[in-house]
Structure 1
Amino acid sequence: MASKTDQLLIVVSILEGRHFPKSARLSLVVQASFDGEQLATDPVEHRDQPYFSTELAWELDRRTLHQHRLQRTPIKLQCFAVDSVSKKRESVGYIVLDLRSVQDVKQEPRWYPLLSSKYTKQKPALLLSMALENDTKPSEPSPDRFKAKKAPPRQGSPAVSDLLPDKLEASLIPDQGYHQVGPADHCSDMFVLSVTVAFATKLEQLIPSTMKLSVEGSGFFFYYSLLGNDITSEPFHNLLSPDFEPERASVRIRSSKQILQTFLSQQPSLQVHLCCGNHSLGSTDVSLSALAAVSVDLENKAATVEGAFILQPPKRTKQALPALPADLQPTVGVAVTLRREEVAPQSLGKKEGESEAESLLEELQRGQEQAGLLAAADLEFPVLQQSQTEATAEGGASSVSVSAPKVSIPSSAHHYCFSLDLRSLGNLSLTHPIAATLRYSYPFFGSAAPIMTNPPVELQRNMEASLPQSYCAFDFATLPQQLQDTFLQVPLVVEVWHRDSTSRDQLIGRASVQLSRLLSSERSRVLASTGEQSWRQTHQDRIAVLNTHRPSRKVAELSYVATLEDLGLVKAREVIVSDSSQNEAAVPTQPSSHPAAPSLSVAPLGPTAPTAPRDTQEYRTALELELWKEEQEDLFDDQLRKKELSHMQALAEEWRKRDRERESLVKKKEVEYSLLEEQLQKTLSDLEKREKQLLESELETQRLQRELRAEHDLTQRELQESSRRLQQDCDHRVAMERDKVRLMEEERGRLLQQIADGEFRYKQLEKEFQLYREQQNIRPEFRLQSEVNLLTLEKVELERKLESTTKSKLHYKQQWGRALKELARFKQREQENAMTRLKKQQAELEAMRLRYLATEQKEAVHQDRKELDDIRNELNRLKQQEDRLGPASSPSGPAPTQSVIESADEHLSRLLEERDTLLRTGVYTHEDRIIAELNRQIQDAMRDRGNL
């Protein structure tokens, strides 16, 4: 069971996205899955730059993290577009994160493009960052330990412990190559923390009986994590007598003694795993509590934790392995040393520096007693795991060093030559000119030292400048698969710096050279200088330089040409790193064969001054290359001569090794079989007990069956009785319903008969009413009354028509008066403005006006006469009807006469008002024809009124 300090959190921060199409109907959701657990972000708007700002975390212990790293368990992020109406989800793309790249230190966010993206044209991406955090929980204090109280701080100066956070973290400083623990102003000392894996014994006890040693050909190695950096030892193949060179991994820490001891007291134990391929066969915990003791004097000597530690199998296989005696326990020799960097290893005494190998050999002979461990000379080199490769590719450098006096190159490694020519820089979007210098580094080529262009070139807005001395070539050896994996996963980042003589250098932007495009380019066969044929791939492109603070903004464009040459297999299996090659800055080396073997040569950036041909770096490099080739040819000939002898010795050694393996497995299986026999006896006794329990259970089951059967019969009888009662009840209800139906039929017949009688009586009454109606129509009073009513209706209709006609005429008169007034005003205005023109056209206008008025007056008079005639005809008709009616209608006679008189008066008043209106306009006089006609009509109306 892991302690509380081993609890960790894998935190994936999903910050924002870019290059997404805008859609108001959709929203974006990112779902992350790791180890069967799925987490998701809240839905955000589907726009060009969606803003997530979400952290997703998984909790696990350090041992489980190591298992996942060995098994390369991925973290998969899948982006979905969700319809806000139908809630339908559609996959947009996914991202796979490597768990091995997660570190304890905070890393800068990176843009990850979506794979298998739905939006192929826009290439969307997410800004992500991963971190490994300690899941701090309050722990119970141990009652067995005594802890003294801290002395109160002096007044005016707070104690250092008060300034420290609750949980100290080791932050990597890439430029300086060390980790910093604590605040920068309190960290003034440099320390070196070293871990040495020296020897191992009885490792065959960790191999399960189902695994065949001869089948596992990938080799065995030790693995541990030092301050978040994964360290692996050189592989070995013989478990009975492990033969591997001791290796020391070192990290430089900048801190103070008090802060560093506090930090080490918070750290969990160092876990060392024995691995085969991707599986952990066993592990042990090395406590670091002794290094954090207050009594340790780090000023003059080193603090060491060392010994032979027992390897425990994984939890899943602990029950399958038998309990082993002490002399058969698998062990590993580990030493952890902490010292100040100023203290030389030679001055640490015999046990620490003079002969740790002798003390560890004595430790192996004495058994599991405390002793020293083998030491080796320190030689710095970066950690070779995928996580560190990605960290250094982003501009950081590892602070871990592992001792190794030589470098092994696999037989299947190829010799490669990579060259990069940065051609030009242009399309600057800044408003001010810059003095541009380019810088990049790619540790996979064998050197973490940055490559820079010199001298700076002046670049102005919308201008293109060529880069001087920007060609660089790298010779290195590696496996083709490792080359392909590294080029696909790690881009080459080129930084553009602005050099100013008056201020510090300023980082303008970064450009990512995707080396994977070089692998997909066309391959061509070329003839090398040695006469051998090789393959060459060339890729030329123009990429954008993005702003460091705003990654979506393009600052400039960089043109480059990259070339990769495959020179074939490397002839040597082992290369000794010479002092000259280590000291040459232009020929960096890397003593490891995991990502790349030692660099053979790196072409210089360019001569700064003319030198003699034999003194140039190119000549020395070519000479070293020729000497190296001759040496390889001699080695190859010597290997051919010794090939037969080595094969025979290898066969004999393999035969003896397999005999020893079989003997060891036989002993191991005897112990296992004895344990299995004991387990079998115990199982037999358990089976007898279980048989007795089964008999008792069977009897109990039979009893329960009888009870259940009786209960079932009783329930069946009750159901039958209930069914019979329900059947009788239903029959009785049916009979009652039938009686009700019969009674309703009788009532219906009676009601139908009543309806028929009522219809007959209705027809009789209708006939009588029709006869009465005919009799009433024959009477004369009824007929006269009907005529009177008709006449009254006609009179009312005529009055209504007359009233509407009068109103329409009055309206017409008003409109006509307005028109005449407007005409008079227009006439007067025209007379005042243009008297000369009016005199010439007066006759014509007067004639036109007279014709127009005459026509209008004629139509009006004709209409008036027609209306008067209608009125006279109507009056005459009414008089005739009145005469015919005689005395019968005499009571209603005066009313029509009075109505006719009132109508005549109204007509006379209308004519008078119309004449006066025309005269008041000032346009007409008494001599005009229309006025004379109105006078005549007025006289006729007065005469007709007098006759009435």
Structure 2
Amino acid sequence: MGYRSDQMLIVVSILEGRHFPKRSRHMLVVEAKFDGEQLATDPIPHLEQPQFATELAWELDRKALHQHRLQRTPIKLQCFALDTLTSAKESIGYVVLDLRAAQETKQAPKWYSLLSSKYTKFKPEVQLNIGLETDTKPAAETFKAKEAPPRSSKVAPGGLDPKSLVPILNEAEGYHQIGPVDSCKDYFVLSVTIAFATQLEQLIPSTLRLPEPQPEFFFYYSLLGNDVTNEPFTDLINPDFEPERASVRIRSSREVLCMYLSVQPKLQIHLCCGDQSLGSTEIPLTGLLMKASPEIEHRPVVVEGAFILSPPNRAKQNMVSVAAESSPTIGVSITLHKEGSLQTSHRPREMNESVVTKKEPSTPQKIKELPAQPPMFSDSPPTKDEDTDSDVESLKSVQADSAPPQPQTRPETSAPSERPLPGVQPPPSLSHSAPEVVRSLSESTSAQKIAIPPAAHHFCFLLDLRSIHDVDIGFPVNCILRYSYPFFGSAAPIMTNPPVEVHRNMEVFLPQSYCAFDFATMPHQLQEKFLRLPLLVELWHKDKLAKDLLLGVARLQLSNVLTSEKTRFLGPHGEQCWRQTFSEMAPVMAIEGSKSKVADLSYTITLEDYGLVKVREVVVSESSQSLVVNNPPPAPPVHSQPEPATEPHETLEYKAALELEMWKETQEEMFVSQLKKKELAHMQALAEEWKRRNREREAIVNKKVAEYTVLEEQLQKALADLEKRKRQLASDEIELKKARTELQLECERSIQEREDSIRRVREDCLHQIELERLKAKQLEEDKRRLQQQLQEAEHKFKLQDKEFHQYKEQQSSKPEIRLQSEINLLTLEKVELERKLESATKSKLHYKQQWGRALKELARIKQREQENAMARLKKQQDELEQMRLRYLAAEEKDIVKNERLELEEIRNELNRLKLQEDRKQAPDTGSTSDRKMAASGSRQQDEGLDDYLSRLIEERDTLLRTGVYTHEDRIISELDRQIRETMAKRSIR
């Protein structure tokens, strides 16, 4: 059994963290994803310094490792905070590791900061280490497989193995790469749309307890490793949710994509409640493979239909007898198209064919574009901004393959003074606080009152889309502009009409492009809305033969008008008003492709503030739809001159009273009709609620009946099983009696055999005892004989010992023997002395070593003391540095002066000696010999002084090299003094 040396392990060590906030009810989990395989650590407490102490490993061979390094496959570590009460998982950041940094040699761990961290104030970090290890797992026993039959299928293009195709996420470009990068350069879009669902209550068994107070349900599926969920809903009988489409971009080729789809499993969609799956369905992707013909270059391929949701294994037995027509179903559409093929004139028709329309046609379809970073599945539904949904509703409806509505007619005014009297619209705050009031206003119900806040201002917003120019499109455009801004009081789109034809490098002024909006709102709400939500103006190409085509979108930042200069003007009633005007040229950007500019739009926006709204309650009339202030009728005018006498019925007072009574009757009739309408509406609502509850009860009853039918069938089946078991028990009893009789006979036979064996064993034991007795007698005789022989041998030994002592005494009296004994004693003493000498030598060496270590330790201690002393004396040295320098300079001068004097004396002495030598030129032989003898004696003394001097210098240097002593120590000072004296003596001689 050998070891696989080509198998490697990529080991990621997650050691610890720091700078994390402390959260008592949360746990920390790190999930690592590499090559489509996801690993996770155990949950640990969410502390400031969490201790993970976990290793995650992936197994692969060296060839695959080299391929991943060439493709720069990252290892992504996602950190989550897990709520222990609600089991909600919250992403708090991630770390991306480079596989090329992994080495087989052990490296030190590093700290990595969490990217996109939720805790911006703390800046958490994680200590990680990535390395490679050789997989030492014993390989399986080798065997020789049979030769595989030849494949009948065609060879894959480029020699690719379909099973080796793995989608690789490119976060920078926002797509998944399938296949080689060099040959797969086409972009495709794979979309999944969940349109409707029916009979979902059949998936809830009677034994299942749903969470309180109101459970939320949602659909979940995985698309190329991306977890996708739709908006949650609460009603299973009549599930009401908007169709949503999730899309992913794929970079590949048509052949490689077909190979990838051929080996992929089915798309599995789950109906979930919290973290529990209530049912699922599997949609095969072979339909896309069959339809992914060369037509995909021009039109999308679609797999759509209603699929039955099957309960999990624990509940399948309860759904056996449910009819097929009452089975829970889900409407799903899977679309695959090539990116860029839908930008032709046939795009609306082709996309309209690929949408599952089980909802109402007026309901816009939502599109959920999957980000480059795969979102993780969470039990809590994502929150939405209700204000932004209405602003991008038109754009989303276009992207969801719905054609733009027909242009609506509206009054066109040439100047602000020519527009009608501004009416008061409800502010946006009312749509959140009192939806009944806004709904009643939009439906124009008679005698409905709208409450306007006291601080609300009357605003008028004027938008003039002047011209469009610099169109960068390859064909003439019949352009219309379309926009909608619900904050102005209506979500209905507004379009320019009729279409105008625009060519390249041409500026065209738009007809009927001036529009005014009157509304009432708070100034701070207006400023907040303008700053947060731009106005999206869509550029459409209107074609007579095909559906309209969206070319681009211009973003008009309405907050620019708030920064422009204010001008004062008088209102229609003489009040002081303010006006702000802003003009600009905005680019129209394409919605697909490279996001390039397709045209320029010139526009002017004006904001007029008419001050506070004077009315507090506005009544919407049923006939005229005008606004009437709920004030008492005006009093009749007072005339100063007396009028002539007339009939009582023709006086002004009578007419005023009659008009008042008629007004009262009219108001009473309107009030009664309003009450009847409200009563009718309430009765209809009650009837609808009763029908809805009745349908729910019928569904529950049908469900219970189906469950009871299944239980009855199970009970009948259980009774049949009991009868069968009863018959089986009777036959088992007969078998048991037969076995009991056989067992009794077997027992008697075994007892007889045991008795016979005991008898035989007893006889054998008696025979063995007789034999042992005979052996004991024989051994006693042998013992007596051996004792007699022992006594004889002892007698002979005594005689021989006596003779030996006599011979020894005779030999001891000889001198050779005495000398030999003395030699032996001396030898022993010599050995003992040598042993003592060796031990003394060893102890001397040991003491030398101990003394050297002690000297070194003393040197270290003195060095530390010297460092401390140097630290203390540093300040003093700094202070004395200048003085020392001056002193050294003065001393140097004195030394130079003294040396000059000594040189003068030596020169004089040399001159004196030269004169003496000149005087004594006559040599004397006797004195010469004496001088030679004296010189030889002095030479011997000089040699002795040199030896002594060299020995002193060597001792001093040896002590200094140990590091224990310094020049300030006493012994070193003494040696220096002796060296100086010796040198002085030597110089004198």
Query: What's the TM-score bracket when you normalise by the shorter of the two chains?
Result: 0.3 to 0.5
TM-score for both structures, normalised by structure 1? 0.39
